[in-house]
Structure 1
């Protein structure tokens, strides 16, 4: 009875060590965790499997704890990796680079755990806890190269058939038929994340040898990518054969998962063979080495807990305040284009408008050219000017984030890209959009003004947040002009409008730098 009571006290002490050591750290990480949970709730994105993966991670962690009980202690050599990860998280908060905080999250938690249990005990929890990295929204950086690879593969496959087509960037143009965009959702990122999770879970449950786990992991990644390549090719080919009338073009998500499920069949045949081979290897007589217990007594865990708590609270006090504050309503820019353009009622252009989440300041207006009205001519062009500014980048209010899009992909499809030449000496990207139902076209010219740098590429604008830390500028803006016209020279008309409108928008942005939005 006394021994049993002593065991209960020991288990309670161990759980208290983990709880007290991790509670302050989780408090510091809460803004980032809250943002990640929000991404998991978006069922149409690549991370909708997050809560399910979290439950699986808990199950695997408890399973590993039962098979390999970890007695807490203090392993000071792991303080260095912990401090490095915590510093990376702090820098991400300081320069308001959310992606850096996301990248540091799981390594930070794993290194904190290693401070208390060391490597010999902690290695059994590497996969159960590390698998959560597959649900952290940092994998979007792979989307663009995956899109390019998908286009290259489908270009090779289409070349095997008697199909006239052209490829430009991530667009596949079927001559005389239509155009396909290999967009973010067609990159195969969702299948890659789910495929990695499935093979890692299978390897953790049923495989014992490291090389078997690695081989299955690499094979699972390959099968996931092949499934997406097959899906995209079938959709393009069916669009060609049916003159863009196939139902797969609009409703291709379910089809993609069926293709992915089909690739799992040969994958798990291979996994089963690896499992049987590992079982035969386990039955061979070999000397088993008993796991060494952690050095020192349980009381040494106090030092590890104190170190984690002190460093976590230090980071919390050092992080910038109000890094997650979001304005309830954006402040409107006061802007006047003088006698050049007159406003038109409405904030959309032929049903199109950009979707941006939680900007601090905005200006949105449709308008027409006054000069044509003066001479009695009816305006044949309607213009749109949008300015969206974030005073600084933080969770939920960031210029470059997945929720911010130039157009609704369910309603509009890109038709062509073109350069917009202006005397303003800033890069401007032109884009023609076609409405999927009405066939109407709008022509956009846009640029990002991020931390005093002009960019037309989203990822370059994202990276500008890092260099912007040294420029004493925290603001980032999207400037976008658009035109809808029946008969006009689109590049020339759009260039003229942007040359008139953007200087006024830039003057308002510069005039409000450093002023808090109300």
Structure 2
């Protein structure tokens, strides 16, 4: 009788859902330590993903918010579909990790985490957001570097056209009378974009509900990040022109 009462108290503890979702997250990480090691090497040690250290703490906070809003609810009935998704995601992780396809096994790990949470909890869009927030520390965003770099070249060329400085742009090189500037990959604005997306999506999750407001806010966040980077590059070029390249400008 005492054992049954103790078991009942455990499952009725108010923080059981919160603790359970954290245990699932930690368990998925521990069972895939080699993959976590690659994330550490390619994400946490990369300056572009300097925000990566904050992501686990933000995810922890988001789970807590869901718990406080009573949006972490266990499934009342067993779901064969949820089990099928869990098995499929585990198999996908096995295949991709065996094939040593870095990008795919990072995404497969994230899919496994979502499937495990879905298996235990009632699925809602908000339920998966904290787990999907880990996407901001997965180093897959590098594919945007070249497009953003090319976009920066076009934007900076237009901005410099508003000044009286003679400018000639060739590929990623900006020629001015005082010298040549290269808009390299580090000037693509990827770091600005990632940080802006991470912060804006967090704000949207916590405060916005209307689809129109979400679209407007997200668009402004993206444009603001890109514009900030373009202005930064243009200002550096102007300073270089005014000082006749006598000062060393670090990106």
Shift of 1:54: 1.6
Partner of 2:79: 75
1:46 to 38, 45, 48: 48
Gaps of 5+ in 1: 253-518
Q: Distance in 2 between matches of 1:118 and 1:168?
A: 55
Partner of 2:183: 182
Shift of 1:243: 1.4
Partner of 1:240: 241
Distance 1:24 1:9, change over 3 A: closer
Q: Distance in 1 between matches of 2:25 and 2:207?
A: 30
Q: Deviations over 1:428-460 (max 9, x none)?
A: xxxxxxxxxxxxxxxxxxxxxxxxxxxxxxxxx
Q: Distance in 1 between matches of 2:212 and 2:150?
A: 30
TM-score with structure 2 length normalisation?
0.82
Partner of 1:102: 106
Shift of 1:139: 0.6
Distance 1:55 1:22, change over 3 A: closer
Matched, 1:147 2:149: yes
Partner of 1:29: 32
Secondary structure of 1:48's counterpart equals helix
Matched, 1:90 2:94: yes
8 A contact 2:173–2:183 mirrored in 1? yes
Partner of 1:200: 201
Q: Distance in 2 between matches of 1:144 and 1:204?
A: 30
Q: Deviations over 1:186-219 (max 9, x none)?
A: 1111111111111122222222334433332222
Partner of 1:297: none
Partner of 1:481: none
Q: Distance in 2 between matches of 1:220 and 1:182?
A: 22
Higher Cα Rg: structure 1 or 2? 1
Partner of 1:217: 218
Distance 1:200 1:173, change over 3 A: same
Q: Distance in 2 between matches of 1:124 and 1:207?
A: 12
Partner of 2:120: 116
Q: Deviations over 1:270-304 (max 9, x none)?
A: xxxxxxxxxxxxxxxxxxxxxxxxxxxxxxxxxxx
Secondary structure of 1:179's counterpart equals strand
Aligned residues: 245
8 A contact 2:204–2:214 mirrored in 1? yes
Distance 1:53 1:242, change over 3 A: same
Q: Deviations over 1:24-52 (max 9, x none)?
A: 6433422121222344543x611111121
Q: Distance in 2 between matches of 1:207 and 1:16?
A: 26
Distance 1:225 1:241, change over 3 A: same
8 A contact 1:146–1:188 mirrored in 2? yes
Query: Alignment RMSD, CA only?
Result: 3.0
Partner of 2:10: 9
Q: Distance in 2 between matches of 1:54 and 1:21?
A: 14
Distance 1:207 1:14, change over 3 A: closer
Q: Which has the higher strand share?
A: 1
Partner of 1:310: none
Distance 1:234 1:113, change over 3 A: same
Greater relative CO (CA pairs within 8 A, separation 6+):
2
Q: Distance in 1 between matches of 2:8 and 2:65?
A: 19
Secondary structure of 1:173's counterpart equals strand
8 A contact 1:78–1:114 mirrored in 2? yes
Q: Distance in 2 between matches of 1:19 and 1:25?
A: 10
Matched, 1:173 2:186: no
Q: Distance in 1 between matches of 2:174 and 2:154?
A: 10
Distance 1:41 1:124, change over 3 A: closer
8 A contact 1:75–1:114 mirrored in 2? no
Distance 1:16 1:56, change over 3 A: closer
TM-score with structure 1 length normalisation?
0.43
Q: Which has the higher helix share?
A: 2
